[in-house]
């Protein structure tokens, strides 16, 4: 059978691609394949057969395309090309609802007239006027459940129908159904269900068969008449009240009295009848379905239910009477409703038709006036848009995630001007209803309900019952005072704290300061919320876990093992006699930080999580994953918001200035500069390692290496190191950046300030002592860190200039904001200071600037010397980072590398010695060879390794010949430590395999190429007990080396990829493959 798109209306349509269609029967098409019940679910299942996102069905000669691809729906949503088309089964309702808003054709005058008259009644502002009625009906529902007792099986769909019908009838028309006073549903509901069911039945019947369904037609007409009779009575009652001077200004009053602002005409009585019926049907049927689905999903997802309870306990503690302003604080409940409508949009489809012949997707022809249906359940599960589309995940609608959703992938209320006019009414009513239910009742499903959907024109779970027991005070997560809500409480309530003095242990495990910074920010927020919050390294729980309170862990992984501040804990976990850890009274939450590019991403946070779970402690929220490869800040923000929501705390003043500043006289005592953890060390030499590359190669092929320095630094007395250790250097910001910040803030560099603060997360600042502004900005904060979305939001909030606000808003507001932020700010590494310099109208104080800056972090450099040769002097190999700024403005210079490059002999630096974990040290058995793989400054630790082996050889020990696979640009430019390597190669300490990326005709461009060429020698060394070491770039070089080693194994053993990968993983775990890589 030919599809509609194969029947050309013109030459263009003839060339279109056919719309795919399930195989059908002659004349009947797909009509007999459609179920009498469950059509929407059948359309969802059919959609899964057509990954194109479009298919068509033949309804006995009437062919209808169905669409679910978000990209195609985007085209159908273009109201310049398509209009809403009222077709079956919706068109069958016109017998009862006529040209009401829901069933009117686009060109019918009454649609535009009613839309314009009624639109103000559904504004966000208008919702406040309906609130008291909504609350009255929600309380009537709760009172009914209380009377029934905890053992009553509550028919959820029926009671949600009572709730929503009473709400719309009372709020909109002043009519009381009083549905909760009788066990039976109101006769209007029976008539309405009959009309909806018959409309769906007609859709799946052949026209000839339908002509003989006279009994169905008679019942349909009776049901329509019953609905009309009730509505006519409602209208008559109101007119009588108006005549007596007691009319209300609700929806019905508006319809009876208002005039269309365009035509200056009122609505006629017949159309008012149709509008009232429309609102009584559409205004309650879909909302009751949404609430029924939401309660079902909450009971199936106890973690989300716990979040919702926590939020209600925070916003509506005890017997707090809900007020309208409280609704804005119900973020979790709002996300529950949004995700519910994603999975189960209660109005499951809508149809449109083009004004002219057209194509969608560039290939599918749609004729003028041909109906095209959007299948919402399939659209909301479009795998091209939604991750794990079948999973109920309310975090999809966290602000930062919702901003990234395809703009046409979520349409539970329809599209454009024909979208549901009562959307805000429905969401307001539903949020309040869920809040009242959760405030009062502990819900359960003792019958383990088997999910089944009942379809009329809308969807609802069928036969779903729950039980509702009144909650007691002990069940609440936290007992708090009422949250401020506009006029809800007096001003003193705003100072109420939610933590109640509960202990909170916030522990960090990291090497670079990021985890500690996050931990201290969490502790500061917790302190403001009333918790007794303390920050400590993870090693604080090495011997014992807290037995009560809350434990929050922020941890990273270093080369698959614990970071610096968690090594003792890791050792305890590794030991055979590890302490028995039981803490059933403890609650915990874990945030894992790192970079998904590394194979061990989240390894240690997962281990900590497993330890806590095994102790009997209770998880508060799922473990978070903050990925430095993308979306790190957004992930941290989302996880912490979830944590506060679940704990029942409100993130109070998180972006308030953390520091208050008091300016002092210039003659005040000069502040101490060095961080307490650092020791002062002396630079003995600072030498250039690379030579002038002029004339060696065409620089368009590859730029020369930047200045690369060899520094020697004397350690202070009492400080030692081992070969392979790191030196952690605390740098200073460049003078030009410091002066730019001083000038931009309008300060004097030599002015003395004293900083005070109440929270530990500003530990990096010199508190309670005088310090110059110049020294403060030079030594204590990171001026070049990339600005976060939170930073931009804060700057936007304090900016008064309309132009600047609009520029900043591009990165934080609107559907494309996240993408623009990633491209313009994140990828370009634009700092807060860069934004201040770009936008001079931003008015930021020193306090505000400090609040946006992180602590000056130490930079880790592999020590390039042997402790046997120079136990009190370390060597460093420092490649400077300098080049055109990715932002396109000026030159970017790395903070630490440029600081070190300029240090003269005799300069003092602040630094500490750090041992990597796992260790990155030469094999203690010098009779075993080593395989050393590196490029550029990655040679630094291997210089120390080989210097040590040469010393041992000179002392008479047997030293095996190691292999060095090294990468440089050109031998006359950046073959680092070439003379020393040649000396050691002549002595048999090492055999060098060299790659040059800028030498024409050289056989090996990169280190992975020379590694492959040297594979026989590498295997010989490995068989002799060698350990493989890799040092250098972690983004390109290290993965390429891993891939080459896997390929070498495959070639040697004729194995498959999986086996070779498992071999390399085993070497990592056993310590025979070690890497020390950097970005």
Residues taking part in catalysis: 286, 413, 420
DSSP 284: H
Closest CA to 30 of 5, 54, 63: 63
Element holding 242 (H helix, E strand): helix 214-243
CA 944 to chain centre: 43
CA angle 252, 253, 256 (to 5 degrees): 85
Q: Which residues pair with 467 in a beta bridge?
A: 444
CB–CB of 269/238 below 8 Å?
no
d(CA 166, CA 133): 9
212-217 contact pairs (CB < 8 A, 24+): none
d(CA 182, CA 45): 39
d(CA 313, CA 481): 10
CB–CB of 374/413 below 8 Å?
no
CB–CB of 1046/1064 below 8 Å?
yes
Burial of 227 (0-12, 13-18, 19+ CB in 10 A): buried
SS3 of 726-772: the string is EEEEECCCCHHHHHHHHHHHCCCCCCEEEEECCCHHHCCCCECCEEE
142 phi, psi to nearest 5 deg = -65, -40
The token pair at 853 is 């800056």
Closest CA to 113 of 218, 265, 291: 265
DSSP 397: G
Q: In what order do the strands lie in the sheet with 752-756?
A: 660-664, 752-756, 770-772
Closest CA to 486 of 742, 128, 834: 128
Q: What is the DSSP string of 174-206?
A: -----GGGSSSPPHHHHHHHHHHHHHHHHHTS-
CB–CB of 1020/956 below 8 Å?
no
Q: Give whole-number Cα distances, 617 to 526, 582, 648, 704, in Å.
A: 20, 8, 19, 55
Closest CA to 790 of 807, 815, 766, 811: 811
The token pair at 233 is 């009575």
Q: Give whole-number Cα distances, 573 to 541, 607, 609, in Å.
A: 11, 9, 12
CB–CB of 316/475 below 8 Å?
no
SS3 of 6-21: the string is HCCCCHHHHCCECCCC
Closest CA to 680 of 623, 718, 633: 718
d(CA 862, CA 678): 17
d(CA 166, CA 287): 12
Closest CA to 769 of 909, 664, 910, 848: 664
Contacts of 78 (CB under 8 A, 6+ apart): none
Q: Where are the alpha helices (DSSP H) in 761-858?
A: 773-779, 789-798, 802-809, 817-821, 832-838, 846-851
CB–CB of 686/905 below 8 Å?
yes
Q: Which residues pair with 593 in a beta bridge?
A: 626
């Amino acid at each position: 059978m030919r599809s509609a798109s194969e029947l050309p209306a013109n030459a263009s349509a003839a060339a279109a691609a056919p719309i795919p269609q399930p195989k059908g029967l002659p004349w009947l098409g797909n009509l007999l394949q459609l179920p009498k019940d469950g059509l929407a679910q059948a359309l969802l299942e059919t959609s899964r057969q057509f990954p194109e996102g479009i298919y068509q069905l033949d309804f006995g000669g009437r062919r209808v395309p169905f669409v679910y691809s978000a990209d195609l729906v985007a085209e159908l949503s273009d109201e310049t090309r398509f209009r809403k088309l009222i077709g079956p089964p919706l068109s069958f309702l016109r017998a009862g609802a006529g040209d009401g808003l829901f069933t009117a054709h686009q060109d019918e005058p009454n649609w535009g007239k009613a839309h314009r008259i009624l639109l103000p009644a559904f504004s966000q502002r208008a919702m406040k006027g309906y609130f008291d009625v909504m609350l009255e009906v929600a309380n009537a529902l709760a009172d009914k459940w209380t009377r029934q007792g905890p053992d009553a099986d509550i028919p959820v769909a029926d009671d949600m129908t009572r709730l929503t019908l009473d709400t719309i009838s009372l709020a909109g028309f002043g009519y009381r159904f009083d549905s909760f006073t009788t066990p039976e549903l109101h006769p209007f509901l029976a008539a309405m269900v009959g009309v909806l069911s018959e409309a769906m039945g007609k859709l799946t019947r052949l026209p000839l068969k339908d002509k003989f369904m006279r009994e169905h037609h008679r019942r349909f007409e009776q049901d329509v008449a019953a609905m009309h009779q009730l509505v006519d009575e409602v209208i008559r009652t109101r007119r009588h009240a108006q005549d007596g001077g007691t009319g209300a200004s609700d929806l019905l009053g508006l319809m009876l009295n208002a005039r269309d602002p365009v035509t200056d005409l009122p609505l006629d009585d017949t159309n008012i009848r149709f509008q009232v019926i429309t609102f009584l049907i559409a205004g309650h049927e879909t909302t009751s379905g949404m609430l029924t689905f939401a309660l079902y999903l909450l009971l199936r997802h106890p973690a989300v239910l716990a979040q919702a309870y926590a939020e209600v306990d925070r916003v509506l503690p005890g017997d707090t009477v809900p007020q309208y302003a409280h609704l804005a604080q119900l973020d979790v409940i709002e996300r529950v409703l949004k995700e519910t409508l994603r999975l189960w949009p209660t109005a499951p489809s809508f149809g449109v038709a083009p004004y002219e012949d057209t194509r969608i997707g560039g290939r599918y022809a749609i004729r003028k006036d041909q109906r095209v249906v959007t299948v919402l359940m399939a659209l909301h599960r479009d795998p091209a848009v939604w991750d794990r589309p079948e999973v109920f995940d309310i975090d999809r609608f966290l602000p930062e995630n919702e901003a990234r959703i395809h703009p046409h992938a979520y349409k539970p209320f329809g599209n454009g001007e024909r979208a549901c006019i009562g959307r805000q009414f429905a969401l307001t009513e539903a949020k309040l209803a869920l809040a009242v239910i959760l405030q009062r009742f502990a819900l359960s499903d003792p019958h383990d309900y088997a999910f089944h959907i009942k379809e009329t024109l809308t969807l609802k779970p069928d036969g779903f019952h729950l039980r509702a027991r009144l909650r007691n005070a002990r069940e609440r997560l936290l007992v708090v005072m009422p949250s401020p809500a506009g006029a809800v409480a007096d001003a003193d309530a705003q100072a109420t704290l939610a933590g109640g003095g509960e202990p909170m242990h916030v522990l960090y495990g990291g090497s670079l300061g990021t985890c500690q910074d996050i931990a201290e920010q969490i502790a500061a927020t917790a302190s403001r919320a009333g918790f007794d919050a303390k920050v400590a390294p993870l090693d604080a729980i090495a011997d014992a876990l807290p037995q009560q309170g809350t434990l929050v862990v922020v941890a990273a992984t270093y080369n698959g093992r614990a970071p610096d501040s968690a090594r003792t804990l890791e050792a305890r976990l590794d030991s055979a006699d590890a302490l028995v850890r039981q803490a059933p009274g403890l609650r915990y939450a874990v945030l894992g930080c790192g970079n998904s590019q590394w194979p061990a991403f989240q390894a240690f946070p997962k281990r900590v999580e497993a330890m806590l779970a095994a102790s009997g402690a209770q998880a508060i929220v799922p473990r978070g994953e903050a990925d430095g490869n993308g979306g790190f800040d957004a992930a941290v923000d989302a996880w912490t918001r979830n944590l506060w929501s679940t704990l029942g705390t409100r993130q109070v003043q998180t972006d308030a200035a953390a520091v208050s500043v008091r300016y002092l006289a210039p003659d005040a005592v000069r502040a101490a500069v060095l961080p307490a953890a650092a020791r002062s060390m002396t630079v003995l030499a600072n030498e250039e390692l690379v030579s002038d590359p002029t004339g060696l190669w065409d620089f368009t092929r590859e730029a020369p290496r930047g200045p690369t320095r060899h520094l020697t630094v004397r350690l202070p007395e009492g400080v030692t190191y081992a070969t392979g250790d790191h030196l952690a250097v605390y740098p200073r910001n460049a003078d030009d950046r410091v002066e730019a910040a001083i000038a931009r803030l309008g300060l004097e560099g030599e002015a003395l300030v004293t900083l005070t603060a109440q929270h530990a997360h500003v530990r990096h600042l010199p508190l309670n002592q005088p310090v110059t502004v110049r020294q403060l900005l030079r030594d204590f904060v990171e001026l070049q860190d990339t600005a976060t979305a939170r930073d931009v939001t804060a700057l936007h909030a304090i900016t008064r200039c309309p132009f600047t606000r609009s520029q900043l808003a591009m990165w934080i507001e609107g559907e494309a904001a996240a993408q623009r932020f990633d491209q313009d700010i994140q990828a370009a590494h634009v700092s807060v200071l860069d934004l201040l310099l770009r936008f001079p109208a931003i008015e930021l104080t020193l306090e505000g600037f400090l609040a946006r800056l992180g602590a000056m972090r130490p930079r880790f450099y592999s020590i390039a010397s042997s402790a046997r040769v120079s136990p009190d002097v370390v060597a460093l190999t420092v490649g400077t980072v300098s080049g055109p700024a990715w932002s396109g403005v000026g030159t970017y210079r790395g903070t630490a590398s440029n600081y070190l490059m300029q240090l003269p002999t005799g300069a003092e630096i602040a630094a500490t010695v750090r041992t990597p974990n796992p260790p990155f040290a030469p094999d203690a058995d010098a009779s075993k060879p080593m395989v050393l793989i590196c490029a550029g400054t990655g040679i630094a630790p291997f210089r120390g390794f080989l210097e040590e082996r040469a010393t041992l050889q000179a002392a008479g020990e047997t030293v095996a010949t190691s292999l060095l696979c090294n990468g440089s640009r050109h031998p006359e430019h950046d073959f680092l430590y070439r003379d020393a390597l040649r000396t050691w190669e002549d002595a048999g300490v090492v055999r060098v395999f060299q790659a040059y990326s800028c030498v024409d005709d050289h056989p090996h461009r990169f280190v992975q190429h020379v590694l492959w060429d040297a594979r026989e020698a590498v295997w010989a060394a490995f068989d002799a007990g060698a350990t493989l070491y890799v040092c250098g770039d972690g983004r390109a070089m290290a993965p390429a080396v891993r891939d080459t080693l896997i390929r070498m194994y495959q070639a040697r053993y004729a194995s498959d990829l999986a086996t070779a990968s498992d071999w390399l993983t085993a070497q990592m775990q056993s310590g025979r493959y070690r890497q020390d890589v950097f970005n």
